[in-house]
Amino acid sequence: MVKKSSDIRTLFEPKSFAVIGASHDTEKIGYKIMNNIVSGGYAGKIYPVNPQGGDILGNRVYQNIEDIEGDIDVASVVIPAKHVLDSVTRCAKKGVKFMQIITSGFSETGNAEEERKIVAVAREHGMRVLGPNIFGLYSAPASLNSTFSAGTVLPGHVAILTQSGALGIALIGKTAVENIGLSAIVSIGNKCDIDEADLLEYLIKNDDTRVILMYIEGVKNGERLISTLMRTTDKKPVVVIKSGRSKRGAMAAASHTGSLAGSDNIFDAIMKQCGVIRADSIDEAFNWCKFLAFTPKPKGNKSVIITNGGGVGVMATDACERYGIDLYDDQAELKRAFDPVVPSFGSTKNPVDLTGGAKAKDYDLALSVPTANKGIDSTIALYCETATFESADLVPMIKATYQKHLGAGKPVCYAIVGGTAVEDAIVKLRHDNVPVYGDVYQAVSCLGMLYRFERSRSEKTGTEEEADIDVAAIDSIIDGALAEKRTFLLANEGSAVMRAAGVSIPQNRIARSIEQAVQIAGEIGYPLVMKIVSKDILHKSDAGGVALDIQNGDEVMDAYEAIIKNCQAYKHDAHIDGIEICEMVSKGTEIIVGARRDASFGPIVMCGFGGIYVEVMKDVAFRGYPFNRAEAMKMLKELRSFPLLLGVRGEPRKDIEGLIDALIKVGTVIRKCPRITDIEINPVVVYEQKRGHKAVDSRILISG
């Protein structure tokens, strides 16, 4: 019997905390954790456990976990790997709610079996396990620092979930340098039980947490992660660093945290679908998180660049395009608003150029414009060091104009370039959480991510849409194939699955007489292709067993007779089963449509530029579930080849709605038929609007 486990909140806000393997030796991790808990100001009960007994930092040491009188919300384990299972078992029996297994030497070194045993014991007793192979957890609401990090953690508004322990500890240090306060930092390690989705459940509700940063090497149980991330990004931004994106990097990740990195394209697509912002590097992620934690939500899209140097103004304009920031464009209003501040040889266009002669008071005036102007929603302020501008004025000017923006509820970011005075100003202002950067692209990227987050939140497509498919029919086709020990479906089986899913395929039926042929042809419609059906004739064309482009009933009759005659002449004793009457697929836009069960994320749908070009042009888009018509449309729009569907060079618009139907149907097959692992239809020929499409060639893989 599996007991129900406690709410994840207990892991972050425990009332009692045991350290199994607490040590008297100040060099040991078992001491460092104790020291961090005590000096961090944790107010709950602390139970060090060590057979030696005694006292550590004023806390009585218990010789056995069983000796502890009260309940234990969380127990941290820092003993050698071979003793961990025993300890876990004893904790489970004692009723411990959560365990943090610091110890390493499990699946990351190939010892996955021991992890499985740990999880089995825990599950049985309703106990949850964080780790193994972690550095612990910090939680601001509980003032609990159960990590073995050397530095102190600053409380604040960013939560970090990290799969890499060493990186996590280094990040604690880096957050202190950057004065980034943390609401929580959790080391996830091998995530044998508790994973990102579990932890996000807490962070969604935790008011201290404004932004979440995740370092991920591999995703397990990704379907749940998707739905949790969707709910998280409804409330707050999530920034992710995913490493192992290259082939070689994925190999390195496998030997680091035992993670399967999976396809980076799919990861990337799904993060976008979830509204998660992806950063490449730590610096980028930190900049974004800090900005997102302290910047008000913009009321609209229009941004203004204010600068004293044309060059950086041009760079910022380029950066705005890269990061998807719209520039305010009402020339008359710009002129009216900025004319009093801009000298005649400057520019009131956006970028507004105050020129190299600008002093602090000119910036004060110019930066007051966006805070008061209803049309301008956000500001990018640039400064190049000049002899005219008094260095001493820099910090006060930026602080004042930043406060004014905050007061007006408008986002602002600063990029300032220059010598020592400028560098000192950056350090000082960043320490006060003013968004100042030494590089134009960095500054603009932060504002861009704020807009990206707000945009993706507003563009969310909602819940899953399912097609009405004949699951029973598909299941019986799979049963048949599996009975023959096949892991793939034959062409006719594939066609049958498509029919059961309601995907339009070229029709084909077998006629056994000339009359039947004419009747079937009439039902399918012209043009047609006719082919001999005979197990004795392998090379149909050589035998004269194929007739193309049949246009009417007379031609059907002629072709029928000709094919029979040719084939009898070709092989006089051939057993002829009949003649296949096939719809001829006319030309159209070739799209590839697929779906598969991804090892990380479960069911995913894909589509791309079809025909022979798919591998060459690599123009493919992916989506995970929940998938729906709106999401399918967003997916199609991501394709470089999307204009082909809209119709290029005067061609009419294609049947995009029909194609979306097909995507929903193929996705539903993967969702409802768990034994199907892979569907690829290449091409789906898409015709003009309302003229439908034909799925020409579908390859389907299955597993028992």
Query: Is the CA virtual torsion 216, 222, 224, 228 positive or negative?
Result: positive
* Furthest-apart CA atoms within the chain: distance in Å: 103
Instruction: Based on the shown chain and the rule CB under 8 A, indicate whether residue 417 belongs to the binding site for its own copies.
Output: yes
CB atoms within 10 A of CB 654: 22
Of 257 and 401, which has the nearer Cβ to its own copies?
A: 257
Phi-psi region of 28 (alpha: psi -120 to 50; beta: other; left: phi over 0): beta
Residues 555-614 that bind its own copies (CB under 8 A): 609, 612-613
Q: Token pair for residue 699?
A: 């390859």
Confirm if 122 and 88 have CB atoms less than 8 A apart: yes
Of 163 and 600, which has the nearer Cβ to its own copies?
A: 163
Stretch near its own copies under the rule CB under 8 A, chosen from 315-323, 456-464, 485-493, 577-585? 315-323
Residues 653-682 that bind its own copies (CB under 8 A): none
Report in angstroms the alpha-carbon separations of 43 from 37, 69, 144, 151, 625.
9, 18, 8, 20, 42
Instruction: Based on the shown chain and the rule CB under 8 A, indicate whether residue 696 belongs to the binding site for its own copies.
Output: no
Of positions 128, 245, 272, 430, contacts its own copies by CB under 8 A: 245
Instruction: Based on the shown chain and the rule CB under 8 A, indicate whether residue 266 belongs to the binding site for its own copies.
Output: no
Report the candidate in 522, 494, 490 with the shortest Cα–Cα distance to residue 509.
522
Instruction: Based on the shown chain and the rule CB under 8 A, indicate whether residue 280 belongs to the binding site for its own copies.
Output: yes
Of positions 151, 480, 544, 578, contacts its own copies by CB under 8 A: 151
Give the separation between CA 637 and CA 635, rounded to whole angstroms: 5
Give the separation between CA 359 and CA 331, rounded to whole angstroms: 24
Peptide bond into 643 cis (omega under 30): no
Query: Is the CA virtual torsion 281, 284, 285, 286 positive or negative?
Result: positive
Instruction: Based on the shown chain and the rule CB under 8 A, indicate whether residue 255 belongs to the binding site for its own copies.
Output: yes
Least spacing, CB of residue 105 vs its own copies, in Å? 7
Of 280 and 459, which has the nearer Cβ to its own copies?
A: 280
Q: Spell out, one character per residue from 427 to 446, where the chain touches its own copies: x when CB under 8 A holds, - when not.
A: -----------xxxxx----
CB atoms within 10 A of CB 251: 12
Least spacing, CB of residue 437 vs its own copies, in Å? 9
Of positions 105, 506, 527, 544, contacts its own copies by CB under 8 A: 105
Place of tokens 């123009």: 619
Q: Token pair for residue 425?
A: 């100003």
Least spacing, CB of residue 76 vs its own copies, in Å? 16
How many residues does the structure list for the chain? Answer: 704
Q: What is the CA radius of gyration of the chain?
A: 32
Report in angstroms the alpha-carbon separations of 132 from 163, 185, 187, 242, 623.
11, 16, 9, 20, 31
Instruction: Based on the shown chain and the rule CB under 8 A, indicate whether residue 107 belongs to the binding site for its own copies.
Output: no
Stretch near its own copies under the rule CB under 8 A, chosen from 253-261, 557-565, 657-665, 696-704? 253-261
Of 321 and 554, which has the nearer Cβ to its own copies?
A: 321
Least spacing, CB of residue 272 vs its own copies, in Å? 19
Of 44 and 151, which has the nearer Cβ to its own copies?
A: 151
Residues 350-409 that bind its own copies (CB under 8 A): 351, 353, 356, 384-387
Least spacing, CB of residue 171 vs its own copies, in Å? 7
Residues 198-217 that bind its own copies (CB under 8 A): 215, 217
Q: Token pair for residue 584?
A: 């001829």
Instruction: Based on the shown chain and the rule CB under 8 A, indicate whether residue 171 belongs to the binding site for its own copies.
Output: yes
Of positions 33, 92, 253, 274, contacts its own copies by CB under 8 A: 253
Residues 471-530 that bind its own copies (CB under 8 A): none
Of 150 and 569, which has the nearer Cβ to its own copies?
A: 150
Place of tokens 């976990």: 65
Confirm if 525 and 519 have CB atoms less than 8 A apart: no
Residues that bind its own copies (rule: CB under 8 A) add up to a total of 92
Least spacing, CB of residue 349 vs its own copies, in Å? 7
Residues 6+ apart with CB under 8 A from 124: 1, 2, 3, 92
Least spacing, CB of residue 627 vs its own copies, in Å? 25
CA dihedral 570, 571, 572, 577 (to 10 degrees): -110
Residues 6+ apart with CB under 8 A from 331: 349
Q: Spell out, one character per residue from 216 to 235, where the chain touches its own copies: x when CB under 8 A holds, - when not.
A: -x------------------
CA dihedral 534, 539, 541, 545 (to 10 degrees): -20
Report the candidate in 119, 159, 132 with the shortest Cα–Cα distance to residue 2.
119
Of positions 170, 360, 524, 562, contacts its own copies by CB under 8 A: 170
Of 382 and 581, which has the nearer Cβ to its own copies?
A: 382
Of 88 and 305, which has the nearer Cβ to its own copies?
A: 305
Instruction: Based on the shown chain and the rule CB under 8 A, indicate whether residue 26 belongs to the binding site for its own copies.
Output: no
Least spacing, CB of residue 163 vs its own copies, in Å? 7
Of 162 and 401, which has the nearer Cβ to its own copies?
A: 162
Task: Calculate ∠ Cα 206-209-211, nearest 5°.
Answer: 135
Instruction: Based on the shown chain and the rule CB under 8 A, indicate whether residue 341 belongs to the binding site for its own copies.
Output: no
Of 247 and 572, which has the nearer Cβ to its own copies?
A: 247
